[in-house]
Amino acid sequence: MAGRSSPPILTDCFSCQARQRTEWCVLNEDDLKRINDAKKSRQCLPGEVLYHQGDACRGIVCIESGMIGIRKIDADGNSVLLGLAYPGDTLGYRALLMAQDHEVSAEVLKKGSVCLIGEATVRSLLDHNPSLGHRFLWRAVKDLGEAENKFLESVTLTVRARFAHLLLILKDRYATDVEDGAISLELPLSRQDLAAMIGIRPETMSRTIRQFEDDGIAHFSGRTVHVPRIASLLDEFEHEDYL
Amino acid sequence: MAGRSSPPILTDCFSCQARQRTEWCVLNEDDLKRINDAKKSRQCLPGEVLYHQGDACRGIVCIESGMIGIRKIDADGNSVLLGLAYPGDTLGYRALLMAQDHEVSAEVLKKGSVCLIGEATVRSLLDHNPSLGHRFLWRAVKDLGEAENKFLESVTLTVRARFAHLLLILKDRYATDVEDGAISLELPLSRQDLAAMIGIRPETMSRTIRQFEDDGIAHFSGRTVHVPRIASLLDEFEHEDYL
DNA sequence: CGCCAGGTTGATTTCGCTCAAGCAATGTGG
DNA sequence: CCACATTGCTTGAGCGAAATCAACCTGGCG
């Protein structure tokens, strides 16, 4: 499914809606022009892989629209979704900075468009614009904190608790409808991808969803979830065992 | 055990052995003088806590000698050792950059000396010396990669495999004696801290060590370990199930 | 229509946690 | 100096959560 190359499109950094949210918002007119000239935009479709784990890093990817999944696969073929990336996020900066191959894959989950910016351009901008480096530093530090939390959770919390937490996180972005304590959300992910996000097997995901149904914590129908009481998710998440 | 404040000592950044390995190696004479004047050095003893999870961040800590453990504790009291820090490592930069409280504790594991550098000094140096920011960026990106690997391992590998990997990592620093495939190492950690590093219970650590003994993979006596064949550790680590 | 990927469900197993006891080394106060 | 806590480590018994193996059931899609 991957690899069918999509048509290039015309996008303009100056009018890019996502730019405000990116690390690039600190660029001045000149720098913005440089990046605008150097970048290549293109559409991308679900299933497409922007870069594979192990690929040489040729530059970075800036998401204008759509959704990208960051996936990591170990030697035994276990696949884990390390995170989701949205418009304004910049991908691949880590491999670029470490000057090594990509350690993760970036896979399109929802159709959208991305811009590719070559290694040389990025390096030159970084060298000559300190505040750009600061933004990336800030970003890396934030990601680092989240990664450490995930490790902590994976070794201390049960699957139920981790799934509850995942739903709480997805809520912030996907809650379509909120009324005093009750929410409903449209998940952007398949069941297997949900499973991959908390590092469990698809079967276990199914069963955990079943449990939440039976316990009245949430109702699942396709990719839409209805949670009558957000508080119950919080209970599951933090109140591991309330005795 | 914590909190008995140790005597300040005199240390000079210019002659600091650890500096070559730090982010600060990019400082010029002037900056080095500023940091040298602003810093406060002191000895620290095992058990002492340099800063607690939840403390406000007042600056950063630079390790001149000794060993520091980075610990994170969740709401239920589960303690995990996220990493070890050595001479040349700089701690607390994350809380400082994010301008928030420390998310982890830094606990002295081996006697040594550290330098404390105030928030204002660090910020001013960062603002006015771009390459310092680049060094920290590089460092954060490296830590991020490691953190993600730990998450991946925790959800895919067995305890045996994770422990084998931990030994392989400790080997690089603590292998006291190597002869064609056989090594012996002096662990810097108690059993419970070893357990905390891979997110398991002390009892499980005991049993895993027992297994390694029984399988002839390693021999443990106190804190010294003898591994007749390093290859067997590698097998445990990557060859999860070879059938 | 057959095929296949995604999802659910059931039966079974296994790995690691919990609870509990015991033990050696160390410390501590009378 | 001994009686005693205390702390770190080990071991056992039992349990429970999640993985594994396997069947089956959809809903697209050629």
The whole-number pLDDT of residue A26 equals 86
For the stretch A149-197, pLDDT in tens is 999 999 999 999 999 999 999 999 999 888 888 999 999 999 999 999 9
For the stretch A40-67, pLDDT in tens is 999 999 999 999 999 999 999 999 999 9
Q: Does the C-beta of A211 come within 7 A of strand C?
A: no
Chain A residues touching B240 at Cβ < 8 A:
76
CA of A192 to C1' of D22 (A): 19
| CATH 2.60.120.10 is right for the domain spanning B13-154 | yes
What sign does the CA torsion over A129, A130, A135, A139 have? positive
Say if the Cβ atoms of A80 and B155 lie within 8 Å: yes
B177 CA to chain A: closest CA distance, Å?
A: 30
For the stretch B96-121, pLDDT in tens is 999 999 999 999 999 999 999 999 99
Tell the CATH topology of B158-238: Arc Repressor Mutant, subunit A (1.10.10)
Give the Cα separation of B100 and A169 in Å (integer).
Answer: 21
Say if the Cβ atoms of A148 and B94 lie within 8 Å: no
pTM of the full structure: 0.92
Q: Which residue has the higher pLDDT, A232 or B30?
A: A232
B28 — pLDDT class (breaks 50, 70, 90): confident
Interface test with B, best of A156, A198, A241 (most B CBs within 10 A): A156
Give the Cα separation of A116 and A84 in Å (integer).
Answer: 18
Say if the Cβ atoms of A199 and B141 lie within 8 Å: no
Residue B94 pLDDT greater than 60, yes or no: yes
CA of B192 to C1' of C22 (A): 19
DSSP E strands: which ranges in B36-170?
A: 40-44, 49-51, 59-73, 79-85, 90-91, 105-118
Region B150-167 average pLDDT: 97
For the stretch A13-42, pLDDT in tens is 888 888 878 888 888 888 888 998 999 999
Whether A205 contacts A191, CB under 8 Å: yes
Name the residue among B102, B116, B109 with its Cα closest to residue B64.
B116
B2 — pLDDT class (breaks 50, 70, 90): very low
User: Where do you find CATH 1.10.10.10 in chain A?
Assistant: 157-238
User: Where do you find CATH 2.60.120.10 in chain A?
Assistant: 13-154
Supply φ then ψ for residue B168, to 5 degrees.
-65, -35
B7 CA to chain A: closest CA distance, Å?
A: 33
CA of A159 to C1' of C20 (A): 27
For the stretch A111-144, pLDDT in tens is 999 999 999 999 999 998 999 999 999 999 999 9
- Chain C nucleotides with an atom closer than 7 Å to a protein C-beta: 6-11, 15-20
| CATH 1.25.40.80 is right for the domain spanning A157-238 | no
Give the Cα separation of B222 and A68 in Å (integer).
Answer: 49
A159 to A156, A208, A231, B204: CA distances (angstroms): 10, 8, 18, 20
Whether B96 contacts B60, CB under 8 Å: yes
Give the Cα separation of B138 and B129 in Å (integer).
Answer: 15
B10 — pLDDT class (breaks 50, 70, 90): low
Name the residue among B219, B26, B49, B242 with its Cα closest to residue B135.
B26
Of A75, A126, A141, the CB nearest to B140: A141
Residue A87 pLDDT greater than 90, yes or no: yes
Whether B110 contacts B67, CB under 8 Å: yes
Searching chain A, which residue's CA lies closest to the CA of residue B81?
A152
Considering only CA atoms, name the residue closest to the C1' of nucleotide C5.
A192
Among chain A residues 138-197, those with CB within 7 Å of any atom of strand C: 155, 190-192
User: Where do you find CATH 1.10.10.10 in chain B?
Assistant: 158-238
What is chain B's Cα-based Rg? Answer: 20
